[in-house]
Structure 1
Amino acid sequence: MSRPSASLRTAVVWDVLRGALDQRVKTSGSESLDVLDTGGGTGNFAVPVAELGHRLTVVDPSPDALFGLERRAAEAGVADRVRGVQGDAHGLFDVVERGGYDVVLCHGVLEYMDDPAEGLRNVVAALRPGAGTLSLLAAGLGGAVLGRAIAGHFTEARHALTAPDGRWGESDPMPRRFTAEQLTELIEATGMTAGAVHGVRVFADLVPGALIDTEPDAEAALSQLEAAASELPAFQAVASQLHVLAETRYHGG
C-alpha cells in the first residue's frame, strides 16, 4: 500500500521547527543561525533550513547519505551553507564543536542509540551554553501498537504495549519507541526545559495512498487534520512519531 507524500508526513514537524528557528533568530539577534542536524541523512530538514539562510552541519554515519546531501544542497543552491561530516551521536565531538550551535536537530536518532539518555546528553552538549534549542523527533509507542492491531497482529500489539522498549517482536526493525512522558523525562534530565509536544503521522500512516491520489483536495485536508490533532494529547498517544521542542534553561543572577 502506498502512503501519503513525505512532505505531508513531516509537515507538522516542519511548521513547528520553522517557528522555533524564527524565535531563536529574534532572541539571538543574528539573522543566520548555526544548526547541527544529527543523523540528518540526505538533508530532508537540513536543506530547507539552509534555504532559510542558516548554516547547517549534518552528521551522519552513511557516506551514501552524505553524498545525497551534497547533491541535494547543490541542486537547491545552498551548498555553501551545508556541510556534511561522517560520524554519529556517541562520537559527536570527534567531528563537531562542543557548545557551538544555536539549534540542534535530533530526528529519528534517539531510538537507535544504545543508551538514549547518554546519547541525548551528548547531543545537547553541542548547544551554546545558556542559549539553545533542541528539536527532538522519535518513534512513538502508541502508533506502533495501533498499527499492529489494525493489521490484525493483536499479540504483537500487546507485546509492544507492555515491552520496556516498545518493540512488538524479534523481527521489529525499530530498536525502541517512546511515550511523550518518556521523551520529556529524557530532555529534563539533560538540564533543558521541554516545551511543546506534537504528535506526528497520527493518520498519515493509516490512510491509503490511493485515496490521497484520487480524492480532490484530500492531501490538503489530511494535512490540516494532522496539524489539528498534533497538539491534542489523546492523538499524540497514538502518533507514529513524537516531536518535542526544548530550550536551554537560563541561570541568570
Structure 2
Amino acid sequence: MTSHVTGADLRQAAIWHGLRTVLPGSAAGVPAWSVAPTATAIPPIIVDAGGGSGGFAVPLAVEGYLVIVVDPSPDALAALRRRADERGVADRVTAEQGDLADLTGIVGAETADLLLCHSVLDVVDDPEAALAGALRVLRPGGVLSLVVAGRAATVLARALAGRFEQAQAVLTGQGAGAPRTPAGFTTAEIVALVNAAGADVVDVHGVRVFADLVPGARVDSDPFTAQRLLRLELAAAALEPFRDLAAQLHVLARRRAAGTAREAGAAGFP
C-alpha cells in the first residue's frame, strides 16, 4: 500500500473490506452469498439507512451502484446532495428524509439488493423490532451490512475515562431493557438478533480494534505508521479475541425468503 492513509481510512477500513466481499465485481472476489448481479443492465440497488452525508453512498455511486440514502437529518441530506453533485453521481444517489421505522414506506418492500445499517441500531429503543422492519426492504437473498457498537470496547472506554460505575453496569448487564446506546452488543447478542430478525449471519468482524488506542499524533506524523496500523487492523478484524474487543462489530448477513428455515451461517456462526 503506497497511498496516504487517513484517519477515516483507519476507522472504516474493516467495513470497506467486508463490503468488498459482497459487492459484484469486487477485486476481493465474490462469495456465493453475495449480492447477485441482476440479469439486466440495471445496477444493484443499495439502501443506506442513516447514511448521513454519504460517506459510503457517494463512493458506491462512483463505482456505478444506485444508492438510496434515508436519514432523519435535512442538513446531512443537503451535504449528501452536494457531495454527490461534486463527484458527478447525482443521478445515482437518491436522498430521502426519514428514519429506520420509515424505511419500507419510503423505499418499498423487497426493493434492495444490499442494505447498509451502520451505527443506527445503537440509538433506537427497540433494536430487535427496528431491524426486523428494516430487513423488509431487502429482496430474499439480499445482503445486510450492519455495524453496531461493541460491548467490550464500551466497558474499556468507560473504565479508561474513570467512569468505573458505568463500566461495571455495562459489564454486568445492569439496566437491561434500557436503550442500547450505553452498552453496545456482544458478538453472540448481535448474531442472535440478526438471525431472529430473518437473516442468516455469514460473517462478523471487528472495526477499529487498535485504531482508537493508538495516539493520533503518532499516526498522523508518519504515513508509514498509518499504513502498518491499517494492515494490522485488517489482519486482526476477524480473529478472536481481537474482534470482540473492537469499538464496533460489522455483521454481514443474507435475508431469508419468507417461510424458509434458518441456515447455519458461515465461519461457525450458529
2:201 alignment partner, one of 185, 191, 194: 194
Query: Quick one: which amino acid aligns to residue 177 of structure 1?
Result: G
Q: Paired residue for 1:238?
A: 245
Deviation, 1:29, is 4.3
Contact 2:48 2:117 in 1 (8 A): yes
Deviation, 1:48, is 1.1
21-30 vs 99-108, greater mean Cα deviation: 21-30
Deviation, 1:153, is 3.2
Gaps of 5+ in 2: 1-5, 25-29, 262-270
Structure 2 SS opposite 1:246: strand
Q: Paired residue for 1:105?
A: 116
Instruction: Classify 1:72/1:165 alpha carbon distance in 2 versus 1 (closer, same or farther; 3 Å).
Output: farther
Q: Paired residue for 1:60?
A: 71
Report matched runs for 1:69-148 at 5 Å.
Answer: 69-128=80-139, 130-148=140-158
Query: Quick one: which amino acid aligns to residue 117 of structure 1?
Result: E
Contact 2:202 2:252 in 1 (8 A): yes
Identity %: 45
Query: Quick one: which amino acid aligns to residue 223 of structure 1?
Result: L
Q: Paired residue for 2:54?
A: 43
Structure 2 SS opposite 1:44: coil
Instruction: Classify 1:214/1:208 alpha carbon distance in 2 versus 1 (closer, same or farther; 3 Å).
Output: same
Deviation, 1:100, is 0.6
TM-score after normalising by structure 1: 0.89
State the distance in 1 between where 2:241 and 2:255 align: 28
Query: Quick one: which amino acid aligns to residue 183 of structure 1?
Result: I
Contact 1:165 1:177 in 2 (8 A): no
Deviation, 1:244, is 0.4
State the distance in 2 between where 1:18 and 1:64 align: 29
Q: Paired residue for 1:163?
A: 173
State the distance in 2 between where 1:52 and 1:242 align: 25
Instruction: Classify 1:102/1:165 alpha carbon distance in 2 versus 1 (closer, same or farther; 3 Å).
Output: farther
Deviation, 1:131, is 2.3
Q: Paired residue for 1:21?
A: 23
Instruction: Classify 1:192/1:164 alpha carbon distance in 2 versus 1 (closer, same or farther; 3 Å).
Output: farther
State the distance in 2 between where 1:165 and 1:49 align: 39
Structure 1 SS opposite 2:246: coil
Deviation, 1:108, is 0.6
Deviation, 1:213, is 1.6
State the distance in 2 between where 1:69 and 1:165 align: 37
Query: Quick one: which amino acid aligns to residue 64 of structure 1?
Result: D
State the distance in 1 between where 2:184 and 2:35 align: 32
TM-score after normalising by structure 2: 0.84
Contact 1:107 1:138 in 2 (8 A): yes
Deviation, 1:159, is 1.9
CA RMSD of aligned residues (A): 2.4
Contact 1:144 1:240 in 2 (8 A): yes
1:153 alignment partner, one of 148, 163, 179: 163
Query: Quick one: which amino acid aligns to residue 169 of structure 2?
Result: H
Gaps of 5+ in 1: none
Q: Paired residue for 2:268?
A: none
Contact 1:112 1:176 in 2 (8 A): no
